[in-house]
Amino acid sequence: MNDPSVTGGASPGQDDAVSDRARRLASIPSFQRIDAFLNESDYARRHLMPGACDFTLGNPHQMPAERYVRTLRDALTPQHDQWFAYQTNGKASREAAAESLHRLLAVPFRSEDIYLTTGGFAAIALALKTVADPGDEVIYSLPPWFLYEPLVLEAGLVPVKVKIDTMTFDLDLGAIEAAITERTRVVIVNSPNNPTGRIYPPELLRRLADLLEAASARIGRRIYLVSDEPYNRIVFDGLRFHSPAEFYPHTLLAYSYGKTHLSPGERVGYLALPPTIPHRDEMSHAITALQVAMGWVYPNGLLQHALPELEEFSIDVSQLQRRRDRLADALGSMGYRVRLPEGTFYLYIPTPIPDDEAFTASLARRDVFVLPASCSKPRASSGCPSLRTRT
């Protein structure tokens, strides 16, 4: 059956091959542009050629670390006859993840509150479906990670995009407050932020928590916060990362190991609930049911066996910081206005001409591949043309 909130009430005709839900998803403009970029562009044809500079996606630029490879190789050797049996939320992985998160945030996460997923995508989708029903509104800030929109729409939810403070790259709390309606159910926060590299300061997160608490009381319905933090270990200049989960108990924390390990093709991450979250048992039942019903979104066995050891592994963040500095210096000396990112591995830079897509296309003709930030915002609202580039 169709879900009317996703389909707009229309039913497929007799000859339709695909559902309205799928057709609507496939026609999201930013999604189509990304699809064309990945499959039919200069980038698709030439990014692997010798001499090409690929600064687009969060992919590695060097061979994987020996320790990472050895850990996976060791995890491949079966230690008992159930080694390759179905895996769910493996105990050892959950414990390792909870301890590590406890160390990072000084919040005593419990291993039972870690739900293992196939990366951050699935963790975000799981979070949305755990708390929101079709038709509910999900607020996030522009420019967003460009795949929030399909995840939100696929869940039958309504994306509501708000501006950021373009001077500081901070969340614009006034814009978030103004966007809240009786249908608001989730606010997605992404810090360290892709693409701006901003790490939201604790005072801002505290004020956001107060705002969401007051707004939930006003509309008579709990607003949840989904904290998308795959870059929470990719932090520069000795700064400390703070998670919204430290300030707002109604937070679902989505994490992916794909950045810390710089291996986004190995799909592993989790959704974590803070120990302070109310209705924990009810949520736990809902999440475990969804993990199966969404297509067994658990990481595969090999990654689960390797995870306790991989928790201790990280790419060299100081090397990333040196790369950031080198690239920022070079771009600065060419006249670009570069604002140093505090974390992540992206630079978000105003383009010298207003049309950011034309500008990135001209770079692509010279085999320099970057993404226009308009990939991540509706064309109609393009206000601050900029490009986003992997350092």
In the complex, the smallest distance separating the C-beta of residue 101 from ligand PMP, rounded to whole angstroms, is 16
Q: With CB under 6 A as the contact rule, which of the stretches 113-121, 216-224, 279-287, 329-337 interacts with ligand PMP?
A: 113-121
- Binders of ligand PMP in range 174-213 (CB under 6 A): 190, 194
Q: Which residue has the tokens 């630079």?
A: 347
d(CA 272, CA 294): 17
Cα gap 188→371, rounded to integer Å: 22
What is the spatial distance between Cα 297 and Cα 291, in angstroms, rounded to a whole number?
Answer: 5
C-alpha 176/C-alpha 248 separation (Å) is: 16
Give the one residue of 6, 55, 119, 252 binding ligand PMP; rule: CB under 6 A.
119
Contact by Cβ (8 Å): 98, 71: no
Q: Which of residues 21-60 bind ligand PMP (CB under 6 A)?
A: 58
Q: Is 121 in the site for ligand PMP (CB under 6 A)?
A: yes
Between helix 66-76 and helix 301-310 the angle, nearest 10°, is: 130
Using the rule CB under 6 A, give the single segment among 92-100, 117-125, 334-342, 355-363 that binds ligand PMP: 117-125
83 vs 313 by CB, closer to ligand PMP? 313
Q: What is the DSSP string of 249-271?
A: SSEEEEEETTTTTT-TTS--EEE
b (16+ CB within 10 A) / e for 122-152: bbbbbbbbbbbeeebbbbbbbbbbbbbbbbb
Count of CB atoms situated within 10 Å of the CB of 186: 24
Q: Considering the complex, state which of residue 109 and residue 145 has its C-beta at the smaller distance from ligand PMP.
A: 145
Give me the least distance between CB of 292 and ligand PMP, in Å please: 19
Q: Which residues pair with 304 in a beta bridge?
A: none
Q: Which is nearer to ligand PMP, 20 or 197 (by Cβ)?
A: 197
Residue 247 or 255: the one with the smaller Cβ distance to ligand PMP is 255
Angle at 293 between CA 287 and CA 296, to 5 degrees: 90
Give, as ranges, the residues between 127 and 156 that touch ligand PMP (CB under 6 A).
145
Distance CA 331, CA 328 (A): 5
Between residues 250 and 390, which has the closer beta carbon with respect to ligand PMP? 390
Write out the binding residues for ligand PMP, residues 226-265 only, by CB under 6 A: 228, 230, 256, 258, 264
Min dist CB 228 to ligand PMP, Å, is 5
Instruction: Tell me how far, at minimum, the Cβ of 125 lies from ligand PMP, in Å.
Output: 10
Q: Which is nearer to ligand PMP, 130 or 215 (CB)?
A: 130
Q: Tell me which of 150, 159, 197, 269 binds ligand PMP, using CB under 6 A.
A: 269
215 or 232, CB closer to ligand PMP? 232
Piece in contact with ligand PMP (CB under 6 A), picked from 90-98, 114-122, 201-209, 366-374: 114-122
The residue among 215 and 347 lying less far from ligand PMP, judged by its C-beta, is 347
Q: Least distance (Å) from ligand PMP to the CB of residue 277?
A: 21
Q: Which positions from 352 through 381 interact with ligand PMP, judged by CB under 6 A?
A: none
In degrees, rounded to 5, the angle at the alpha carbon of residue 272 between the alpha carbons of residues 267 and 277 is 165
227 φ, ψ (degrees, to nearest 5): -95, 110
Tokens read off for 163: 């501006």
* Site of interaction with ligand PMP (CB under 6 A): 58, 119-121, 145, 190, 194, 228, 230, 256, 258, 264, 269
